[in-house]
């Protein structure tokens, strides 16, 4: 996701849970829980390490559902039968309904943007500031159809918890309730996070510039008010995007008609049991933020997008008869004067709060280590080691 930009910077020890039914979010994180430290030698080839060492070292990205590392198995006979049934019956139905929902929302966005010029600013283009019936229609239909898409994917029930400031037992910063949070900060587990947030609050977010040119999705992303970035660019484009994001956050803070920005400050996805270091992009505006914690309890397939390819992830997701999601909405976090002057401190304090409230393990590794782990998983020696372990 766009949250992986360097421009926006400067469950406990067990990994994914194998559950027969979804559980509520566990209690608060204890201070004595260990941190996973970043390895300065992450670039060294990891293929020479044992499977156990790798899983400990790259714990936030380890996948432990019944479909195995990278979703490659080995699969039990029961799973093959269930997948066969789902592939012949469930998957075609979900694909057709999903495409109908996508096309329907595209047509709604197309009608609402007729004879309306988009906002253009520094190679950005969006319809996020449309007013009147057009904006109301785009938002309300977008929220409804996003939830309908999640329902189609098997998320029939979503457990949502809204915690008040009194639940946290202490005040944080000067709380002026007239101050509107300008951004939503969320942990990042899956591409499904976007669908949930669209159905919940319909925010804007950061996306690759190529998304704007995609059929159907391109116009929808403009109606969401996405901020586009060319990720491969190492030019001043990064600085420009950071400035635009900060400006959007301030606008949302000052004007209730402006959409909030959704940012994933970790910069990449995890298996859902850890919280990586936060980039500071969401905190540079010095305004309150809304922390949200998303979890995906599972018994067979984990919806987390960690070490599994996009195509295999979508296929296995479509094959699951029921999927689960738990969401915790924390109260707005109002930064202190010290936090306003120190975005890194602000980001770290919000991160610690989210880890405590979501029972997430703090990890100090990041996207660089994830790439090393992925490279090792795709190496020639690893599959043999995996088979030896299974034997």
Using pLDDT thresholds of 50, 70 and 90, give the confidence band for residue 12: very low
CB 352 within 8 A of CB 2: no
What are the beta bridge partners of residue 363?
A: 36
Least confident of 123-127, 185-189, 253-257: 123-127
Average pLDDT over residues 311-324: 94
Residue 274 to residues 24, 72, 155, 270, Cα–Cα distance (Å): 17, 23, 22, 7
pLDDT in tens, 328-352: 999 999 999 999 999 999 999 999 9
pLDDT in tens, 167-198: 555 545 445 556 789 999 999 999 999 999 99
| Distance, CA of 307 to CA of 271 (rounded, Å) | 9
Output b/e per residue, 4-19; b: 16+ Cβ within 10 A.
bbebbbebeeebbbee
- Tell me the pLDDT of the chain averaged across its residues: 82
Query: Does residue 40 carry a pLDDT above 70?
Result: no
Higher pLDDT, 198 or 241: 198
Q: Other CB atoms closer than 10 Å to residue 33's CB: what's the count?
A: 14
| Distance, CA of 319 to CA of 303 (rounded, Å) | 11
Query: Does residue 143 carry a pLDDT above 50?
Result: yes
In this prediction, residue 32 carries a pLDDT of: 37
pLDDT in tens, 293-303: 999 999 899 99
Tokens of 70: 């990278």
Higher pLDDT, 270 or 239: 270
pLDDT in tens, 68-107: 888 887 888 989 999 999 999 999 999 999 999 999 999 9
In this prediction, residue 201 carries a pLDDT of: 93
pTM of the complete model = 0.80
């Amino acid at each position: 996701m766009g949250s992986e930009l360097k421009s926006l910077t400067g469950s406990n020890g067990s990994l994914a849970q194998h559950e027969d039914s979804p559980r509520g979010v566990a209690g608060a994180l204890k201070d004595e829980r260990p941190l996973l430290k970043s390895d300065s030698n992450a670039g060294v080839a990891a293929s020479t390490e044992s499977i156990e060492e790798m899983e400990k070292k790259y714990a936030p990205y380890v996948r432990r559902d019944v479909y195995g590392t990278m979703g490659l198995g080995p699969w039990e006979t029961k799973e093959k039968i269930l997948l066969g049934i789902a592939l012949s019956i469930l998957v075609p139905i979900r694909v057709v309904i999903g495409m109908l929902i996508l096309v329907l929302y595209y047509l709604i966005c197309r009608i609402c943007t007729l004879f309306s010029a988009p906002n253009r600013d520094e190679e950005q283009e969006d319809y996020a500031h449309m007013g009147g019936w057009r904006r109301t229609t785009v938002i309300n239909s977008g929220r409804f159809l996003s939830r309908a898409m999640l329902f189609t994917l098997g998320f029939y029930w979503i457990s949502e918890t809204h915690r008040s400031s009194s639940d946290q037992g202490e005040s944080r910063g000067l709380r002026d309730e007239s101050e509107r949070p300008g951004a939503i900060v969320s942990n990042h587990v899956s591409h499904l996070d976007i669908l949930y947030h669209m159905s919940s609050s319909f925010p804007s977010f950061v996306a690759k510039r190529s998304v704007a040119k995609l059929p159907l999705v391109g116009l929808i992303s403009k109606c969401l008010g996405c901020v586009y970035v060319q990720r491969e660019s190492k030019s001043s484009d990064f600085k420009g995007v950071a400035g635009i994001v900060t400006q959007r956050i301030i606008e949302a803070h000052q004007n209730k008609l402006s959409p909030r920005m959704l940012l994933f400050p970790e910069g990449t996805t995890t298996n859902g049991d850890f919280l990586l270091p936060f980039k500071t992009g969401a905190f540079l505006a010095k305004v309150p933020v809304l922390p949200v914690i998303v979890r995906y309890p599972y018994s067979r397939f984990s919806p987390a997008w960690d070490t599994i390819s996009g195509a295999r992830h979508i296929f296995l997701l479509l094959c699951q008869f029921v999927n689960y999601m738990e969401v915790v909405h924390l109260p707005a976090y109002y930064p202190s004067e010290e936090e306003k002057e120190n975005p890194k401190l602000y980001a770290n304090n919000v991160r610690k709060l989210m880890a405590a409230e979501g029972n997430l393990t703090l990890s100090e590794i990041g996207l660089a280590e994830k790439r090393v782990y992925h490279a090792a998983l795709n190496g020639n020696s690893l599959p043999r080691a995996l088979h030896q372990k299974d034997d």
